[in-house]
Amino acid sequence: MKPDPALDVTTASGETLQTSRHQALDATTAASEHPTLDRGLPERGTRFRALGNARYSLADEVGRGGLGRVMSARDELLERTVAIKELQTQDASAQRRFVREALITARLQHPSIIPIYEAGHWNDGSPFYAMKLVKGRPLGTAIDEATTLPARLALLPVVLAAIDAIGYAHSEHIIHRDLKPANVLVGEFGETVVIDWGLAKDLATEDREALDAGPYRNSADNGEHTVAGTVMGTPTYMAPEQALGEEIDERSDVYALGAILYHVVSGVGPHKGKTLDQMIAQILGGKVIPLAKHEPRVPPELAAIVGKAMALDRNARYRTARELGEDLRRFLNGQLVASHHYTIGQRVRRFVRKHRAPVATGAIALAVLVVGGVIAIRQVLHERDTANSQRDLADLRAHKLQLADARDTLANDPSAAIALARPLAATDWREAHVPRVRRRRSARPRGRR
């Protein structure tokens, strides 16, 4: 991997240091007066100790920044390859910042934050720390290589992993203050790592060693690099309050994460300008080109997530990166996104798409029930009509037999004949004769009366 001048670290920025934070602050105080970080310290203070140059065999440089450089190295004791970040200046302030960066990142125990293995200083007194070496590429490079929307959307799980890492840091009251695609590494085996915690700040304590942000001032920089000592962060992804040098909190990181999401979805950064002043003016004015103009096919739920994360008013944003991650995870899982307003029709369509197989099965079952019900009803009606016809036919036959018996009996026993005919009402007689009358009428030739 070629060194990236925009990065302070291109392979790491990690975790797990064996000195406590308050003890190490004693070491940073001593470092301002004693560049070797080892002389004049109280006995109770645990500090970066002299490790000499024998344990680690330095190899190639893999990254360089304003404070130091990162080298791949061989750990001769444990026989493994590691990354070594070392300070390249004897300036006391730079040494304090370097030690502070190691202490903060060492506290953050998360799979997407590189662990620090050891910290110490070389024989010449310059501090360093050893960490896991991750081989990969910056997220910005992956975005540039993804030339279609589907290819860029495939990077959303990478962004989600970075958001989860920042969400964890926020739970520890640590804000990063310099989030950008260049500080998110995509490893060769699917790992995602957030690097470069040099501008991080501890919100839970009086973080005296943190660089203080000040009002923005013009620079010849193109906006893609970290601006240290003036505005804390990288202007392209910077929250408005951060650009003004105001007090910031977790919501400023949320804005930067939203800007990274914007870049992933659209393929371009959210703010562009010929000068940093122009870019800062866009940030302060909340002038962000809607995602739909860059990419008309962007899902509206995803556009809503980006819009809420990058809201000009920090109170309208997600409170922490964890809240942002929960909404993005719901989007990736096909669930309803909290930041998007859904119509009833959209909810129904989403339900049908999400439960396509059960809905199709239910529709088929309903159709079968309806058709079967119609057929059953028609069969019942047909059987009823058939039964009624058979009953009427049986009644008619009974009437005929009873009338025949009455006629046969009439000559010999009129009283018996009357008794046989009495149960038949006049209507029954007429109905009994209707079929015969109809047959007689139908048998007449047409035209005769």
The CATH code of the domain that includes 109 is: 3.30.200.20
Residue 306 lies in a domain: yes
> Cα dist. 76→8, 54, 251, 300 in Å?
26, 8, 43, 53
Token code pair at residue 95: 């040494």
- Contact yes or no for 259/166 (Cβ under 8 A): no
Residues 320 and 408 occupy one common structural domain: no
368 pLDDT band, cuts 50/70/90, is confident
71 pLDDT higher than 50: yes
Tell me which of 218-227, 279-288, 358-367 is least confident: 218-227
Boundary of a domain, candidates 134, 153, 179: 134
Boundary of a domain, candidates 82, 106, 134: 134
Determine the pLDDT at residue 138: 94
213-268 pLDDT per residue, tens: 444 433 444 455 554 444 556 778 989 888 888 889 999 999 999 999 999 999 98
Dist CA 116 CA 105 (whole Å): 8
358 pLDDT band, cuts 50/70/90, is confident
Residue tagged active-site, from 4, 8, 178, 253: 178
Boundary of a domain, candidates 119, 134, 149: 134
Residues 162 and 239 occupy one common structural domain: yes
Determine the pLDDT at residue 210: 66
* Kind of pairing between the strands at 49-50 and 116-121: parallel
Determine the pLDDT at residue 212: 56
Determine the pLDDT at residue 281: 77
Whole-model pTM: value is: 0.65
Handedness of CA 128, 134, 139, 145 (dihedral sign): positive
11-58 pLDDT per residue, tens: 333 333 333 333 333 333 333 333 333 333 333 234 677 777 788 999
179 pLDDT band, cuts 50/70/90, is very high
Residues 163 and 278 occupy one common structural domain: yes
Residue 360 lies in a domain: no
294-324 pLDDT per residue, tens: 888 999 899 999 999 999 999 999 999 999 9
Tell me which of 68-77, 117-126, 334-343 is least confident: 334-343
Dist CA 406 CA 133 (whole Å): 118
Strand partners, 83: 72, 131
Residues 106 and 235 occupy one common structural domain: no
Please state, rounded to an integer, the average pLDDT across all residues of the chain. Answer: 76
Half-sphere exposure of residue 174, counting CA atoms within 13 Å on the CB side? 23
- How far the first Cα of the chain sits from its last, in Å, is 115
Residues 177 and 275 occupy one common structural domain: yes
Dist CA 79 CA 81 (whole Å): 7
**How many domains, in total, are found in the chain?**
3
Token code pair at residue 162: 């970075």
Determine the pLDDT at residue 339: 63
Rg (C-alpha) for the chain, rounded Å, is: 43
161 pLDDT higher than 90: yes
Dist CA 386 CA 91 (whole Å): 108
Dist CA 422 CA 115 (whole Å): 113
For the ranges 211-225, 278-292, 322-336, the maximum mean pLDDT occurs at 322-336
327 has catalytic annotation = no
CB neighbour list of residue 449: distance below 8 Å, 6 or more residues apart: none
> What CATH number has the domain bearing residue 311?
1.10.510.10
Domain that holds residue 391: 378-443
Residue 373 lies in a domain: no
Residue range 369-383: average pLDDT?
Answer: 84
Residues 174 and 82 occupy one common structural domain: no
Determine the pLDDT at residue 85: 93
Residue 297 lies in a domain: yes
Residues 140 and 130 occupy one common structural domain: no
Secondary structure (H, E, C), the chain = CCCCCCCCCCCCCCCCCCCCHHHHHHHHHHHHHCCCCCCCCCCCCCCCEECCCCCEEEEEEEEECCCEEEEEEEECCCCEEEEEEEECCCCHHHHHHHHHHHHHHHHCCCCCCCCEEEEEECCCCCEEEEECCCCEEEHHHHHHHCCCHHHHHCCHHHHHHHHHHHHHHHHCCEECCCCCHHHEEEECCCCEEECCCCCCEECCCCCCCCCCCCCCCCCCCCCCCCECCCCCECHHHCCHHHHCCCCCCHHHHHHHHHHHHHHHHHCCCCCCCCCHHHHHHHHHCCCCCCHHHHCCCCCHHHHHHHHHHCCCCHHHCCCCHHHHHHHHHHHHCCCCCCCCCCCHHHHHHHHHHHCHHHHHHHHHHHHHHHHHHHHHHHHHHHHHHHHHHHHHHHHHHHHHHHHHHHHHHHCCCHHHHHHHHCCCCHHHHHHHHHHHHHHHHHHCCCCCC
Residue range 437-444: average pLDDT?
Answer: 50
Residues 142 and 272 occupy one common structural domain: yes
Determine the pLDDT at residue 18: 32
156 pLDDT higher than 50: yes
Residues 120 and 148 occupy one common structural domain: no
Token code pair at residue 56: 């680690």
Dist CA 335 CA 5 (whole Å): 40
Percent of the chain with pLDDT over 70: 71
Residues 125 and 143 occupy one common structural domain: no
Residue 56 lies in a domain: yes
Residue 282 lies in a domain: yes
Residue 87 lies in a domain: yes
334 pLDDT band, cuts 50/70/90, is confident
Residues 150 and 52 occupy one common structural domain: no
Determine the pLDDT at residue 215: 42
| Closest by CA position to 21, among listed 50, 45, 54, 52 | 45
Token code pair at residue 417: 């004949």
Residue 363 lies in a domain: no
Determine the pLDDT at residue 402: 73
Residues 301 and 192 occupy one common structural domain: yes
60 pLDDT band, cuts 50/70/90, is very high
Dist CA 124 CA 158 (whole Å): 40
Percent of the chain with pLDDT over 90: 33
| Closest by CA position to 192, among listed 273, 259, 137 | 137
